[in-house]
Structure 1
Amino acid sequence: MDLINFREANFKDIHQIVDLVNISYRSKDLQGWTSEANIIDGNRINYEQLKKLFKEDSKLFVMFSSQELIGCVHIKKKYNSCYIGMLTSHPKFQNMGIGKKILKLAEEFSIKNYSINTFEISVLSLRKELIHFYERRGYKLTGERDPYPIDADVGNPLSLDIEVLHLRKQII
């Protein structure tokens, strides 16, 4: 793989990020191990939703290989913690350590730039492999759970038993 470039996203990146996130999570044709296409129908994010993430104490980062967008992540400072969301790697670049690298860079940025003591992540309950991915990186299920956010315009669940589970990682 060519030289990897990780940087803060800007408004010019929005369309590419929306495409990447929707392909990575919801494409029926190009499915990687992070695909939700079999459990959620519809887009994960749209242009307007992504644009709203550009605000104070909220950062979007992108990762390119040459000129191709291969990953992204969103971090949001909340009091003494940092929420990490939308961690995405393109399906054709999965199983190459990109997701681990993006997560590590997001955590390092958060520790360096924010006064925090925990990280928080949310995962769909049916995504056992993703829960295990985060657990291997020190995240623990909190026991907190929420219903799938039907009204958030992030797709429609194909099963009624999907919940959002919360994980937390303490910073040592």
Structure 2
Amino acid sequence: MDTADAPAADLTFRDAAADDVDTLVALVESAYRGESSRAGWTTEAELLDGQRTDPEGVLEIIETPGSRLLTAERDGRIVACCQLQRRDGHAYFGMFAVSPAAQGGGLGRTVLAEAERLARAEWDAAEMHMTVITAREDLIAWYERRGYRRTGRTSPFPYGDERFGIPRRPDLAFELLVKKLATP
């Protein structure tokens, strides 16, 4: 059995460190941009060219108080990550990436569940918030199956700021998704 197909039970979670930055940038890029991202279902290659993140952005998340970059490791290799940020009464979930070779087997569900658990247990967060590109109907539906609801509140895509990618279409925007977190 390929390790990418192994059950989620063999995962180890930890916070990212500065020496993980290059590995994390490569993971995020592989999950969302370019040809390698087409191996999984989370690709944004039809919507955006350019980068999804950069070393400076990843390091900033790692070093910012009230923020963490959670990694999931299998056999000593980072296979998934997500950002958690403590905000007023809620937690923000972002920079979620699962290696394209490991997508479709429940790893994403496991990482999301661990992020929600940490937000409740460590920050007493009542809700988890995230933003998703509105054109990503398949991804939004995946989150809805996990209890997130669409709010209808949108924010514009940062056109002209290539740190977030180079849009391939003029109608991109983000929608806020919210989930109430059960008390521990």
TM over 0.5: yes
Q: For 1:43, which of 42, 51, 54 is the aligned residue?
A: 51
**Alpha-carbon shift at residue 74 of structure 1 (Å):** 0.4
- Structure showing the higher helix proportion among its residues: 2
Q: Answer whether contact 2:51 2:162 (CA < 8 A) is retained.
A: no
Please list the CA deviations of residues 128-167 of structure 1 after superposition, one character each: whole Å capped at 9, or x if unmatched. 1110011011111111101111226110110101111110
Please list the CA deviations of residues 45-88 of structure 1 after superposition, one character each: whole Å capped at 9, or x if unmatched. 00011111121110111111113221001000111000000111
1:81 is aligned to 2:109: no
Q: Counterparts of 1:69-108 in structure 2 under 5 Å? A: 69-108=78-117
TM-score (norm. length: structure 1):
0.95
TM-score (norm. length: structure 2):
0.89
Q: For 2:21, which of 14, 21, 27 is the aligned residue?
A: 14
Unaligned ranges ≥5, structure 1: none
Mapped to 2, the partners of 1:110 and 1:29 lie a distance apart of: 31
- 1:66 corresponds to which letter in structure 2? D
1:113 is aligned to 2:109: no
- 1:159 corresponds to which letter in structure 2? R
Bigger drift between 24-33 and 37-46 goes to: 24-33
Mapped to 1, the partners of 2:180 and 2:162 lie a distance apart of: 28
Q: Counterparts of 1:108-147 in structure 2 under 5 Å? A: 108-147=117-156
Mapped to 2, the partners of 1:89 and 1:27 lie a distance apart of: 15
Q: Would you say how many aligned residue pairs link Structure 1 and Structure 2?
A: 172
Please list the CA deviations of residues 81-105 of structure 1 after superposition, one character each: whole Å capped at 9, or x if unmatched. 0000011100000001011000000
CA RMSD of aligned residues (A): 1.3
Displacement over 2 Å in runs of 4+: none
Q: Which residue of 2 aligns with 1:161?
A: 171
Bigger drift between 127-136 and 147-156 goes to: 147-156
Q: For 1:28, which of 27, 30, 35 is the aligned residue?
A: 35
